[in-house]
Chains A and B, each alone.
Chain A
């Protein structure tokens, strides 16, 4: 649908310049920026997200032991993501957790998220390039959400570049998965 908006001159000029530099339309850029606003910015605000250079973040995480990294992941899963999921989606279900992981992956820019199904088996893989501590961190967060909040025990694999969990969906919960 079409919508006419009044933009500040400097914002409009910057959009025009960006569109020329990138070889795409102002409409495409604005559409992406507005989608980010509605899908992500409020959720980011609720999660108390702040911005930091990835290099600094990497140094900070690098100073942790593997156990500390896992505990931090569990802490963030319990204290940040679980309340945010409830605030955004009303309750913690497999569907709302998966949607949240997809949004976090897309907008936080830290990892790629792959979800696959085979009968009652589900596999979630987080791929990244940040090393073993981050894999352990993601596994900790998965523990808080899947084992803790959803009551779904899982088998896990971690390497330098991925954290993967595999679990079975009980037949009575198949509809939402």
Chain B
């Protein structure tokens, strides 16, 4: 169980009434409502990796990406991985590692709401899965991004497959000589 401490806030009346209503609707405590909102604020809204991101309707992104050819979507993903994602990870902490990059991808998925992310390991084989519901071109986009991210850390090409709603990247750990 997480450790917690009490803190007293002075809140504007309309905000206080609204969070009371939210807590009642969701059948959770006021503290749970506040923790969730404040965690999101401190973790996401201000993180170097993600600050400056903008909100748009997912339907708009579906339409915009659908206009591209799949290769272009893949190319855009490679560009975004190399030119946007990696420099942002580095801005947060110059000591980059695959683990830090993975944690940032996970955060993008959790808070950005565009995809889910999973990492499984079986017999030295790592499998990274991105699930999404915005069309095949978005899978191709994430494939391009994962390729550029992993190639940076592993120094070699990785195997990536795409389907309409999923992108899977795989690589094997180096076996010691």
Instruction: Kindly identify which residue among A3, A31, A57 contacts B30, using a CB–CB cutoff of 8 Å.
Output: A3
Q: Are A5 and B41 in contact (CB under 8 A)?
A: no
Contacts of B15 in A (CB 8 A): 31, 34-35, 38
State which residues 9-59 of A face B: CB under 8 Å: 9-12, 14-15, 18, 26-27, 29-38, 41-42, 44, 47-57, 59
B10 to chain A, nearest CB (A): 5
Contacts of A5 in B (CB 8 A): 6-9, 30-31, 34-35
Contacts of A55 in B (CB 8 A): 80, 84
**A80 nearest CB neighbor, chain B only:** B57
A60, B58: Cα distance in complex, Å: 13
**A79 nearest CB neighbor, chain B only:** B59
Mark the stretch among A103-111, A144-152, A153-161 that contacts chain B.
A103-111
A113, B60: Cα distance in complex, Å: 21
Instruction: Kindly identify which residue among A53, A59, A61, A76 contacts B57, using a CB–CB cutoff of 8 Å.
Output: A76
- Interface centre among B8, B9, B35, by most chain A C-beta atoms within 10 angstroms, is B9
Instruction: Kindly identify which residue among A15, A38, A60 contacts B22, using a CB–CB cutoff of 8 Å.
Output: A38
Q: Are A54 and B9 in contact (CB under 8 A)?
A: no
Q: Are B4 and A51 in contact (CB under 8 A)?
A: no
Q: Are B6 and A68 in contact (CB under 8 A)?
A: no
Contacts of A41 in B (CB 8 A): 37
Q: For chain A, which range describes its interface: under 10, 10 to 19, 20 to 34, or 35 or more residues?
A: 35 or more
Instruction: Kindly identify which residue among A26, A54, A75 contacts B54, using a CB–CB cutoff of 8 Å.
Output: A54
Contacts of A173 in B (CB 8 A): none
Q: Are A72 and B64 in contact (CB under 8 A)?
A: yes
Q: Are A48 and B59 in contact (CB under 8 A)?
A: yes
Mark the stretch among B106-114, B121-129, B157-165, B169-177 that contacts chain A.
B106-114
Contacts of A1 in B (CB 8 A): 10-11, 13, 16
Contacts of A32 in B (CB 8 A): 41
Indicate with 1 or 0, residue by residue over B88-115, a CB within 8 angstroms of chain A CB atoms: 0000000000000000000010011110
**B60 nearest CB neighbor, chain A only:** A76
Is there a chain B Cβ closer than 8 Å to A64's Cβ? yes
Q: Are A6 and B37 in contact (CB under 8 A)?
A: no
Which B residues are within 8 Å of any A CB, using their own CB?
A: 2-16, 18-19, 22, 30-31, 33-35, 37-43, 45-46, 50, 52-61, 63-65, 67-68, 76, 80, 84, 108, 111-114
Which A residues are within 8 Å of any B CB, using their own CB?
A: 1-12, 14-15, 18, 26-27, 29-38, 41-42, 44, 47-57, 59-61, 63-64, 68, 72, 75-76, 79-80, 107-110
Q: List 14 A-B pairs, Cβ < 8 Å.
A: A1-B10, A1-B13, A6-B5, A7-B31, A8-B4, A26-B7, A27-B10, A30-B34, A31-B12, A33-B45, A56-B84, A60-B64, A72-B60, A75-B59
Report, nearest first, the 5 A-B pairs whose CB atoms are least far apart. Answer: A38-B18, A33-B41, A14-B42, A37-B37, A51-B112
Given A4-B7, A80-B57, 20 more A-B residue pairs with CB atoms under 8 Å apart are A5-B7, A7-B4, A7-B35, A8-B35, A9-B5, A11-B42, A31-B10, A32-B41, A34-B19, A37-B19, A38-B15, A48-B58, A49-B55, A50-B112, A52-B114, A59-B76, A60-B65, A60-B68, A79-B59, A108-B56
